[in-house]
Amino acid sequence: MSLDLPLVFSFLMGLAVLMYVVLDGYDLGVGMLMPAADSQEQELMVASIGPFWDANETWLVLGVGILLVAFPVAHGIVLGALYLPVVAMLIGLMLRGVAFEFRVKAEGWHRELWNWLFWFGSFLASFAQGLMLGRYITGFNSGFGYYLFALLVGAALCGGYVLLGATWLILKTEGGLQKKALGWARWGLLWVALGVALVSLATPLASQTVFARWFDFPRTLALMLLPLATLAAGVFVWLAAGRMERGAPEPDWTPFAGAVAIFALAFAGLAYSLFPYVVMDRMTIWEAASHPSSLKVILAGVVIVLPFLIAYTAFAYRVFRGKARSGLYE
């Protein structure tokens, strides 16, 4: 039996991107929420993501790395077309990455400046990623409507990351900050609802391919399970946050789990819209794939390394389980 290597690698790439979006999403979201908290709370917020952000961003390198090595032709086309938003994202990621380290060591207005850059970098990176998604899914078509659509996706993704960040804080903090985070989560959820709804409606209108894929009765009926499940996850998060606000017994991890479910479902919808294109309407994964010999070598590495990667990632999350404590480098 021969393995469909391009298919395997598009699955791996999707997995890496989803891992990135969920994992870096929560720490970018926490970054965007910084201005809404007082300075003591800010320390806790940074402490809650400090041990993780580095490894979280590595998933981005893996995702773009798979695009680069498995679909080199598409990598050039996609990143060439997204040149400026990519640069904006990179500058945002750089600013927030170093702000992590600098803000701890700075004092007075320097510290304020780094806090501000931490927020700005988180926001810039998130918004740029949304722009990239909006441009990517419409096949880089130019025109006012397409750019407006990309801006919209940018804003929606920021809302989504805020939701992830807020639910992460619900999990990792307690008391006053947790209460605040409950409010932020609901607020983020509204943005997500708006964003997901608009994207779901606009994407089929913007792209014939996507339209044909979703509106093909009777398949459409089965496909409607996806938006319904997303809606259910949203309602679930809303209700869980409400119960916690009223002080009813509720595990602190359920809102985060619900937010992750929303992302996974929305991601599945996007993947369904795109597949099998790696460049929308232009290039399929089989057309873009590199030579099977190099794919096999990489796959062998993935199969060997992945269990270790999962094991030590689980180990790190276990070490830092429970509520975040202030005081870095303890």
Q: Is 297 in the site for other proteins (CB under 8 A)?
A: yes
Q: Is 287 in the site for other proteins (CB under 8 A)?
A: no
Closest CA to 157 of 15, 279, 24: 24
Closest CA to 46 of 108, 2, 111, 110: 111
Alpha helix (H) ranges present in 173-224?
A: 175-206, 208-214, 219-223
Token code pair at residue 156: 């929606």
Q: For the chain, how many residues are written? A: 330
Q: Is 75 in the site for other proteins (CB under 8 A)?
A: yes
Q: CA 4, CA 280: separation in Å to the nearest integer? A: 20
Contact characters 4-43, other proteins, x per CB under 8 A: ----------------------------------------
Residue 83 or 109 with smaller CB distance to other proteins: 83
Tokens 């990176």, residue located: 125
Among 7, 51, 204, 229, binds other proteins (CB under 8 A): 51
Token code pair at residue 143: 């025109």
Applying CB under 8 A, the span of 68-76, 165-173, 178-186, 253-261 interacting with other proteins comes to: 68-76
Shortest distance in whole angstroms from residue 255 CB to other proteins: 24
Alpha helix (H) ranges present in 71-174?
A: 72-81, 83-105, 109-137, 144-172
Q: Is 257 in the site for other proteins (CB under 8 A)?
A: no
- Please report, as ranges, the residues that interact with other proteins according to CB under 8 A: 47, 50-52, 54-55, 57-58, 60-62, 64-70, 72-73, 75-80, 83-84, 86-87, 90-91, 93-95, 97-98, 100-102, 105-106, 290-291, 293-294, 297-298, 301-302, 305, 309, 312-313, 315-316, 319-320, 328-330
